[in-house]
Amino acid sequence: MGDRIIEDTFNSYGLHILSAGTVLDMDDISKLFRHNIDYVQIDLRQAQQPPAASAPDDWEQVNHAYSSAVEGIKSMFAQAASNDTIDETAVNNSVVPLVSCFRQQKDVVSLLLALNSKDDYTYDHSVQVGMLSYYISLWLGYTEEECLLAGKAGYLHDIGKCKIDNAVLNKPGKLSDDEYMEIKRHTIYGYDLIQESLGDETLARVALEHHERFDGKGYPRGIGADRMLPLSKIVAVADIYSAMTSSRVYQKARDLLTVLKELFRLSFNEIDPGITQVFIRHMMPHFIGKSVLLNDGRTGRIVMTNPTDFFRPLVTIDGKFHDLASNQQLQIDRIINESA
């Protein structure tokens, strides 16, 4: 995002796609993906130039909206636990400013690294799933109204957990069979809460279905892909990604790139393959320029993604280029969070 192309760009049929001088935004890059254009000529990047998304005022605004959304979901959990209601105005007051900030952000990976695990897991996770659901819908070509609905669905997907005892939710050891059954009921509790408070069948069904799986082995109903709402499939991908990259009492946070690999594996039989591919395809360009730790202990920087194997990019180590697609012995262990 923000790169300027220096030549007119055409697809394989000779159709003009983008003009020379275009400063690339998210929509432009999505257009290139749709036309199977993997490379374009760009102006030389200025070394050490920070991305527009990291400007102090922008980050301050994002952090404020994020913190407000976390406080908002905390209040909603407390209200729903005490009187079985959700305030629609409160939902809009939290989600709409958050989405407005996210809409301006170009570097999604930096955003995730900066905002990851700052609060209680349940609340932090709800905000992150709302954010990711919004982005995935945007990348799928949904309208702004549909993307906002996806953001709300992700934000409220776990509201039923307000009915689960905190001792069970945050238990560090293995759950008993009864405790696990109770955890799984949060999907049903969420459906009932949203349906009775907001009367929104779509939001309610996403809360009910976000743990369903394509192979029919999910819960609570064990339905397959053909009976899930499209929005439930989006939130399921966002939910898994956020859960795996977050620290919890019983789980250490996993690296963002490692989790993308796991999502790719799950896309063969558990989650929507099309949505997963779109998510991975749009996330990978954001890793360009990120520092990485390799399995031999050296650190490097990603300089180009590999169109045939997203997880084996071109990296530079001590000024030398290494194509991980050619060197199978070398692989990335994790992304280094330089803002930590």
CATH of the domain at 29: 3.90.105
**340 falls within a domain:** no
In sequence order, what are the beta bridge partners of 315? 302, 322
pLDDT-based confidence at 236, cuts 50/70/90? Answer: very high
195 lies in the same domain as 323: no
Q: What is the pLDDT of residues 312-324, one digit of tens each?
A: 999 999 989 999 9
138 lies in the same domain as 106: yes
Q: Please say whether the beta carbons of 233 and 207 come within 8 A.
A: no
**78 falls within a domain:** yes
**93 falls within a domain:** yes
12 lies in the same domain as 90: no
pLDDT at residue 235 tops 50: yes
Q: Which of 265, 284, 303 is the last residue of a domain?
A: 284
Looking at per-residue pLDDT, the higher value among 14 and 202 belongs to 202
Q: Say whether pTM exceeds 0.85.
A: no
42 lies in the same domain as 118: no
pLDDT of residue 240: 96
The first and second tokens of residue 277, run together, are 């591919």
Note down the domain range covering 17: 1-46
299 lies in the same domain as 264: no
Looking at per-residue pLDDT, the higher value among 118 and 96 belongs to 96
What is the pLDDT averaged over residues 148-174?
Answer: 93
134 lies in the same domain as 101: yes
pLDDT at residue 57 tops 70: no
Q: Please say whether the beta carbons of 239 and 129 come within 8 A.
A: yes
Reported as type and span, the H/E element at residue 293 is strand 291-294
**238 falls within a domain:** yes
200 lies in the same domain as 98: yes
Reported as type and span, the H/E element at residue 275 is helix 273-283
166 lies in the same domain as 207: yes
CA atoms of 315 and 13, how far apart (whole Å): 32
Q: Give the total number of structural domains in the chain.
A: 3
Percent of the chain exceeding pLDDT 90 equals 56
Burial of 116 (0-12, 13-18, 19+ CB in 10 A): middle
